Amino acid sequence: MLQDKKIGIWGASYGGATAGLALGYENIDEKIDFLIMDCPVSSMKWWCGNLINKLKLGFTYQDADVASGLKNVKTPVLIINSKSDMVTPYFMGKDIYDAIINNNKGIWTVDDSEHCEIWLDYNQEYGDKIDGFLKRY
């Protein structure tokens, strides 16, 4: 790590899923200080096209299971989601949160924001939640 510097990842939607999968590889979580996932996808199994994906690209959606990939990470993870999100429903963020066995995790859920719009609808609180999370870890 860089002396006196923190390295973190923030990702939204598929970006959150990608960040989560990356953090779950080998010892990457030892190199990253925190992860913030805004409206993350928990698993590709919820989207159609798995067979075509396997035939054309050589992997299945089960290979992109974010919740399983983050299970053993030690890096602090904050999940932000909304119960009104129709793209990445509330259960996706909750599935990721529940899968992480480490206690260095947090989840913040709002009731009424559209996909990836929590920062617009709750701007001050969004900043406060992230600031509090970063200060804690």
CATH number of the domain to which 109 belongs: 3.40.50.1820
1 within a domain of the structure (yes/no)? no
Query: Do the domain assignments include residue 74?
Result: yes
Looking at residue 27, its pLDDT comes to 85
Query: Does some domain include residue 2?
Result: no
Give the angle subtended at the CA of 129 by the CAs of 13 and 121, to the nearest 5°.
60
In eight-state DSSP terms, residue 13 is T
pTM of the model: 0.86
Alpha helices for the chain (secondary structure H): 14-24, 50-57, 66-69, 90-99, 118-121, 123-136
Q: What is the pLDDT along the chain (137 residues), one digit of tens a residue?
A: 556 788 999 999 999 999 999 998 888 988 999 999 999 999 876 665 556 666 666 666 666 789 999 999 999 999 999 999 999 999 999 999 999 999 999 999 999 999 999 999 999 999 999 999 999 98
Domain count, the chain: 1
Closest CA to 17 of 39, 33, 34, 32: 39
